[in-house]
Amino acid sequence: MTETAATPSNGSFRWPEGGVTRVPYRLYTDPDIYAQEQEKIFRGPIWSLLCLEIDIPNPGDFKTTFVGEIPVVVTRGENGDVNAMVNRCAHKGALVCLKERGNRENLTCVYHSWSYTLDGRLNGVAFRNGIKGKGGMPKDFDPKKHRMEPLRVEVYCGMVLGTFSAETRPAAAYFGTVMDHHLQRNLSRPLKLLGSHSQMMKHNWKLYAENVRDSYHATLLHTFYTTFKVNRLDMDGGIALSDDGRHSISYAKRATLQESEEYAAANVHSAQYDSQLAAPEMLETWPEFEDGITHSIQALFPTLAVQLTLNSLAVRYFVPRGIDRTELFWLYLGYEDDDEEKTRMRTNQANLTGAGGLVSLEDGCINEFVERGTRGSSDDAAEFLEMGGLDVAPSEGSRATETAIRGFWKGYREIMGFET
């Protein structure tokens, strides 16, 4: 087993000079900061993906998940409404739903059989009046005062989003016009789940939040894609940002690919790979949209991403499993009306991403290398993030930039109150 990376917190935290271009390593290891994040971010004004709408099609369907470390259950009520509650019994705190998914008429805790309606209201307490007149709850016990803690829910683009905060703006406004438009583009048709798995990564959750916004590394670390001319910095593309900078889209257009001298000159690792695929059908693709964008990875604050790379449509979300563990979930999707050919192409292309992704498998270990590399660093040691400028601004025509990462940290600092 790998030893834990947590180090004892060392007094109060102050962000160093340099704003979002300097990110202290301490943010990945300080247990106080981790605890604050659970409160300020995961119980704060953000949306988390709870499940897909297609996970709970019928009344009584439930799916369990997490928001930060908090266990959550999502249900479809008798009336078709979607509900979400902390998956915690109001009696002594046991998990109410144990299984990952299922269908129930009401939710009954196994410990002492308290039972709840599908929207989390307490509707039954075992032996409430005691047995043979002995025991039972006090006379003033009021079931209405006890319930599973609810979350606010919004069904948006096929996703069930949840938040603990009353401040969180409706999803379309939270993500902003640019993000909303692209999400609608990719997800506004009936979806079909083609497969899913997860990956346990050995680092703090924010390193993956950075990584998924790190358009600078995409073609340097991931050399498979580059070599097959699928996604290179020299393709026409860029970074779009929401107005608040928290959400981003890294996109590319394949049609305008040109050989770039910078690649040849830099003699980067990516140039070493022989570009002949023995099975080119793996990248067989059809144009799904007329805007010319063939690749997009959309990072949505704080822990969600939607990709449509070629025809590989996937939703990823990641869950902190302690200060130095992150579980990344991959949900591979198609559209309900896809024919067999389309499903076949999406299936072949799924080889590019995920835990065994020919393109992306490095992301399973690279952030752990950062976690391990930064151990024992001094309190003021920090990342240096000046690629593509010092600001948080969209980048047209270039993805050799860290602007989307700076955007994440801008949002993070605002919510955490680390703006000094």
Partner 1 sequence: MSAELSAVVERDEAVLRILIEDMFSDYVHSIDDDRVEAWPEYFIDNGFYQVISQEGYEAGHAIGVMHCDGKGMMQDRVKAMRQANIFEPHRYTHVIERPRLHRTSSDTFSARTNFIVTRTMQNGDMETFASGKYLDSLDVSGKTPKFRRRIVVLDSRRIDILLVFPL
Q: How far apart, in Å, are the Cα atoms of 42 and each of 162, 303, 381?
A: 10, 10, 26
Q: Is 354 in the site for partner 1 (CB under 8 A)?
A: yes
Count H helices and E strands in the chain, helices first.
10, 20
* Contact with ligand FES (CB under 6 A) among 92, 169, 181, 372: 92
Residues 356-395 that bind partner 1 (CB under 8 A): 356, 358, 361-362, 364-366, 368-369
Which amino acid, 302? P
Residues 234-253 that bind ligand FES (CB under 6 A): none
What CA–CA distance (Å, rounded) separates 399 from 39?
33
* Contact with ligand FES (CB under 6 A) among 13, 104, 111, 192: 111
Q: Is 402 in the site for Fe ion (CB under 5 A)?
A: no
Residues 339-398 that bind Fe ion (CB under 5 A): 363
The partner in contact with residue 273, picked from partner 1, Fe ion, ligand FES, none with C-beta cut-offs of 5 to 8 angstroms by kind, is: partner 1
> What count of other Cβ atoms lies within 10 Å of the Cβ of residue 326?
24
Q: Is 267 in the site for partner 1 (CB under 8 A)?
A: no
Would you say 299 and 404 are in contact if contact means Cβ atoms under 8 Å apart?
A: yes
Q: From 65-73, 104-112, 194-202, 205-213, give the range in contact with partner 1 by CB under 8 A.
A: 194-202
CB of 68 to ligand FES, least distance (A): 22
Count of residues engaged in binding ligand FES, rule: CB under 6 A: 8
The partner in contact with residue 410, picked from ligand FES, Fe ion, partner 1, none with C-beta cut-offs of 5 to 8 angstroms by kind, is: none
Query: Which one, of 215, 147, 252, 264, lies nearest residue 406 by Cα?
Result: 215
What CA–CA distance (Å, rounded) separates 124 from 127?
9
* Contact with ligand FES (CB under 6 A) among 62, 114, 251, 318: 114
Q: Is 196 in the site for partner 1 (CB under 8 A)?
A: yes
Q: From 18-26, 108-116, 222-230, 372-380, give the range in contact with ligand FES by CB under 6 A.
A: 108-116
CB of 321 to partner 1, least distance (A): 10
Q: Is 89 in the site for ligand FES (CB under 6 A)?
A: yes
- The token pair that represents 325 in the structure block: 């563990």
Backbone angles phi and psi of 18, in degrees to 5: 105, -5
Q: Is 94 in the site for ligand FES (CB under 6 A)?
A: yes
Pairing of strands 152-156, 122-124: unpaired
* Alpha helices per DSSP H over 65-216: 171-175, 177-187, 205-211
- 63 or 206: CB nearest Fe ion: 206
Q: Is 344 in the site for ligand FES (CB under 6 A)?
A: no
CB of 226 to ligand FES, least distance (A): 53
> What count of other Cβ atoms lies within 10 Å of the Cβ of residue 113?
12
Q: Is 112 in the site for ligand FES (CB under 6 A)?
A: yes
What CA–CA distance (Å, rounded) separates 391 from 404?
10
Q: Cα 209 to chain center, whole Å?
A: 8
The site string for partner 1 over 279-308 (x = CB under 8 A, - otherwise) reads: x-xx--------------------------
The answer for residues whose C-beta is within 8 angstroms of residue 178's C-beta and 6 or more apart is: 240, 241, 242, 249
Would you say 148 and 75 are in contact if contact means Cβ atoms under 8 Å apart?
A: no
- The token pair that represents 314 in the structure block: 């996937």
Q: From 74-82, 85-93, 127-135, 386-394, give the range in contact with ligand FES by CB under 6 A.
A: 85-93
CB of 291 to ligand FES, least distance (A): 51
Q: Is 215 in the site for partner 1 (CB under 8 A)?
A: no
- 112 or 269: CB nearest ligand FES: 112
Count of residues engaged in binding partner 1, rule: CB under 8 A: 43
User: Looking at residue 65, what DSSP letter applies?
Assistant: E
* Contact with ligand FES (CB under 6 A) among 50, 109, 118, 382: 109
What CA–CA distance (Å, rounded) separates 176 from 82?
24
Give 342: exposed, middle or buried? Use CB within 10 Å, 0-12, 13-18, 19+: middle
Query: Which one, of 120, 103, 96, lies nearest residue 61 by Cα?
Result: 103
- The token pair that represents 119 in the structure block: 């929207």
Q: Is 278 in the site for partner 1 (CB under 8 A)?
A: yes
**Footprint of partner 1 (CB under 8 A):** 1-2, 193-202, 221, 223-224, 227, 272-274, 277-279, 281-282, 327, 332, 343, 346-348, 350-351, 354-356, 358, 361-362, 364-366, 368-369
Residues near ligand FES (CB under 6 A) are 89, 91-92, 94, 109, 111-112, 114
Which residues of the chain form contacts with Fe ion (CB under 5 A)? 363
